[in-house]
Structure 1
Amino acid sequence: MTSKVISIVLGGGQGSRLSPLTATRSKPAVPIGGKYRLVDIPISNCLHSGITRIYVLTQFNSASLNKHIKNTYHFSSFSDAFVDILAAEQTPSNVTWFQGTADAVRQSLHHLAVHEFEYVLILSGDQLYQMDFEDMINHHIETNAEISIATIPVDAADVPGFGILKTDENKMITAFIEKPKSNFESWASEVSPEMEAEGRVYLASMGIYIFNRKLLYELLEGNERTDFGKEIIPQSIEGHRVASYQYEGYWTDIGTIPSFFEANLGLTDDIPKFNLFDKNPIYTRARMLPPSKISGTTLKSSIVADGCIISAKEITHSIIGVRTRIGVGTIIENCYVMGSDNYQTLEQIAELKESASPIMGIGNNCHIKNAIIDKNTYIGDNVIINCGEKLEDGDYGTHTVQDGIVVVKKRAIIPSGTVI
């Protein structure tokens, strides 16, 4: 049935909650896990599920994402498979940018019309999970649904952060409430015994939808509704068959700096909730990089990507991204170091050292804790980051602080001896 499906990955808006990581790139293009991009997650889930016709919708800072998609997802010229970017565009009939998730799909319907399909799978570009969409599509067909929503059981403490759905005995959704703060006990639904034992009896929308083609066009054309979660879905429940596809695996929305930080460092666990070592790999750009070179470093619960040159004293509970250089005596704790887009030549390094300027990477005898180091940063020697009292939230030029996490901005230069 997956041959009858087209997938749309929603790239999101400005991604202000992930700032400054989204200052120069769109949210789907943010690096994760040392070598991947956020958009690789939904695309990989699609490809492993046999869904090979994928559009990625975006409108902010799309150059980096375009380059990644172009360099990564290549298919045979004898196949109808594709992963294409659809950036917001002004047309004679529409002069506005995307106004929301539903409006983004509405403005893109004319691109879909040239294909044969019966179902549209709509995904978010900022979630971490591994799901077999073929199973969800089969469930959609078996229940004779017109719309299916992937739902995940959550406990009472998590309810206020989600749209909560109520189901009947046939797993059909009968009601929806947006982020209830109190008095939501009556919204409990039937879940598996395992979920019930954990107190996870409320079904939260995961922002993953399947629409029958005909109904999607009917719901989007001839009106100005802009959002699936706030308008299209709640208003469709009464008049259409809307099914809940219950998912009980690992899933997290990583739209904020704290959730992004936690999700990445979670990959270093002995048995991580998100399994990078699964038989179905996460697809990403194939880089022709040398293996990493590590000298005199104690590594604990850490991931080191390709092409790194590391002479650090100790790296603990951290992710070290591609092409990272770390100097002698440096200690890295609870950090995500994204790495670099290129190597400096020996001549460039010599020139910077002669002028007492930091070279790309992290210098000697630094101590860095609880930080995200964006790409292509220049951190000098004897730099201390986040090792003292809790820092005040704010933007400090070369870096920001959010919930005690320091984010060193892309291409920032941190002089030797700096204390943050």
Structure 2
Amino acid sequence: MDHVVCFILGGGHGGALYPLTRSRSVPAVPLAGKYRLIDVPVSNCLNSRLGSVFILAQYQSVSLHRHISNTYKMDPFHGGFVEVLSAQQTNETSDWYRGTADALRQNLRYAEREGVTDVLVLSSDQLYRMDFEAMVQGHRASKAACTLGVTAVGPNRVRRMGAAKIDQGNWVRNFVEKPGRDQLESLARPEAEDPVRPFLANMGIYLFQWKVLQEMLGETPHMDDLVTQVLPRLMNQGRLRAHRHHGFWEDLGTVQSYHSTHMALTTDHPPFDFHAPDGTIYTRMRNLPGSRVNSSSLRDTLISDGCEIGVGCVIDRCVIGVRSILGEKVLLRECIIQGANEYESSDERRVRQGSPEPPLGIGENTVIEGAILDKNFRIGRNCRLVNRSGVNFADGPFYSIRDGILILPTNCVVPDNTVL
């Protein structure tokens, strides 16, 4: 695995996750209370003994840079690195990345080193656990120009993704991005072991031969996108192969999938288990105390480090992020609470005395349902934040609603007695 270099694509402006991406890039969006989305692909690389990892960033990359530099401090005696490469003007180009292929084109030179044979390209908005060694071995044995990671999905999901049709040797014979209903029959696998999931979807995981990728991107400067331009060309040449992933995999690139996946994590048998001893998901180490829960009722809930839960709270199917502060008799149902970057100091609390702005956290007697509260929220007392009308899309003075889910952005302030 020493001869494989990994590039993780940082994505665009992240409109499908807005307002979670209002002040950060997609890879820096919080995950499961204490992680960031970028921790998943980086951890999979490290667990697969891949030590050369580049993260390609373009939009609002400050928090991503900070997280990577504070988290992945590699041992100098064993080598390896995790490095963020931001879009930049050079003598060769003055443009931002025009697409996924162009992002690789502009940064391949940083990966040039003796002995590199393969390039692994990953996405930064997915949740899965995968050992890439088996994929690399199959890729090299088949001598494929590119190996595409695929997983079985049903018809509703495949229409939002790319679908591959493979032969008995796992060579891709047809590939359609976001297929229509009239194309599904030709892409289904009649021999599928699970008739509910007869399609093979593109996971956004690509393993290229180094020389092939270098030549294609160098000789065809008009090719800017991997999925719509590079992969079809390799498929038509008979050089695109598929590698099947059988474990859990979920794209978290929309508010709906982000919220529903978090709710699934709170169940007795979550589809993805962060507690699993094999395939650890790494993140920043924090010197935080254990969480304190005072005479409250909790059901199917994840609580991260350093939280304070007041007396009489009722929390049902929630993910509670680091440093979350809840006053007395708060009711939370099906919420993602991202927590805070820092505790509020005694001096800060003293300065705010008499201010109409609530303290950091959630005030007493407040009810919140079906919501995502981003970092550093200040929610007053006796508030009721519930999308009772079932609005699917809206923007208000202190909130947004996407896919019916109420979202309070970073540093949101909600006065006492607010009713939504």
TM-score by shorter chain over 0.5? yes
Amino acid at match of 2:407: V
Give the equivalent residue in structure 2 for 1:381. Answer: 381
1:74 and 2:73 correspond: yes
- Map residues 4-403 of structure 1 onto 2, 5 A cutoff: 4-114=3-113, 116-183=115-182, 184-189=184-189, 193=193, 195=194, 198-222=195-219, 223-279=221-277, 280-311=279-310, 313-386=313-386, 388-391=388-391, 393-403=393-403
State how far apart, in whole Å, the 2-side matches of 1:130 and 1:173 are.
24
Deviations along 1:37-95, one digit per CA (max 9) or x if unpaired, are 00000001111111111000011000000000000001111222100001001001100
* Cα 1:136–1:353 shift into 2, 3 Å: same
Contact 2:387–2:404 (CA under 8 A) maintained in structure 1: no
State how far apart, in whole Å, the 1-side matches of 2:72 and 2:280 are.
14
SS in structure 2 of the partner of residue 401 of structure 1 = strand
Deviations along 1:211-236, one digit per CA (max 9) or x if unpaired, are 00010011111322111111100111
Contact 1:361–1:379 (CA under 8 A) maintained in structure 2: yes
State how far apart, in whole Å, the 2-side matches of 1:226 and 1:4 are.
26
Contact 2:29–2:36 (CA under 8 A) maintained in structure 1: yes
Contact 1:9–1:124 (CA under 8 A) maintained in structure 2: yes
Q: How much does 1:158 deviate?
A: 2.6
SS in structure 2 of the partner of residue 57 of structure 1 = strand
Gaps of 5+ in 1: none
State how far apart, in whole Å, the 2-side matches of 1:163 and 1:19 are.
23
Q: TM-score, normalised by structure 1?
A: 0.96
Amino acid at match of 1:212: Q
Contact 2:387–2:406 (CA under 8 A) maintained in structure 1: no
Q: How much does 1:356 deviate?
A: 3.8
Amino acid at match of 2:232: P
State how far apart, in whole Å, the 1-side matches of 2:376 and 2:233 are.
46
State how far apart, in whole Å, the 2-side matches of 1:78 and 1:348 are.
43
* Cα 1:132–1:379 shift into 2, 3 Å: same
Contact 1:367–1:387 (CA under 8 A) maintained in structure 2: no
Contact 2:55–2:82 (CA under 8 A) maintained in structure 1: yes
Amino acid at match of 1:274: F
State how far apart, in whole Å, the 2-side matches of 1:114 and 1:169 are.
36
Contact 1:398–1:413 (CA under 8 A) maintained in structure 2: yes
Q: TM-score, normalised by structure 2?
A: 0.96
State how far apart, in whole Å, the 2-side matches of 1:271 and 1:41 are.
20
State how far apart, in whole Å, the 2-side matches of 1:356 and 1:214 are.
62
State how far apart, in whole Å, the 2-side matches of 1:355 and 1:78 are.
53
Q: How much does 1:115 deviate?
A: 5.3
State how far apart, in whole Å, the 2-side matches of 1:191 and 1:116 are.
40
SS in structure 1 of the partner of residue 236 of structure 2 = coil
Greater Cα shift, 152-161 or 55-64? 152-161
Contact 2:164–2:201 (CA under 8 A) maintained in structure 1: yes
Contact 2:356–2:415 (CA under 8 A) maintained in structure 1: no
Amino acid at match of 1:266: A
Amino acid at match of 2:395: D
State how far apart, in whole Å, the 2-side matches of 1:50 and 1:128 are.
19
* Cα 1:56–1:190 shift into 2, 3 Å: farther
SS in structure 2 of the partner of residue 230 of structure 1 = helix
State how far apart, in whole Å, the 2-side matches of 1:40 and 1:165 are.
27
Gaps of 5+ in 2: none
Q: How much does 1:116 deviate?
A: 3.4
Q: How much does 1:191 deviate?
A: 5.8
Amino acid at match of 1:206: M
Deviations along 1:244-303, one digit per CA (max 9) or x if unpaired, are 101121111111111111111211111110110111221000001111111111110000
Greater Cα shift, 300-309 or 174-183? 174-183
Structure 1's consecutive aligned runs of 4 or more residues displaced over 3 angstroms after TM superposition are 189-192
Contact 1:30–1:38 (CA under 8 A) maintained in structure 2: yes
Greater Cα shift, 99-108 or 76-85? 76-85
Contact 1:34–1:305 (CA under 8 A) maintained in structure 2: yes
State how far apart, in whole Å, the 1-side matches of 2:111 and 2:166 are.
31
Contact 1:353–1:359 (CA under 8 A) maintained in structure 2: no
Q: How much does 1:192 deviate?
A: 5.5
State how far apart, in whole Å, the 2-side matches of 1:59 and 1:257 are.
21
| Number of equivalenced pairs | 416
Q: How much does 1:337 deviate?
A: 0.3
RMSD: 1.4
Contact 1:153–1:191 (CA under 8 A) maintained in structure 2: no
Amino acid at match of 1:297: S
Contact 1:374–1:410 (CA under 8 A) maintained in structure 2: yes
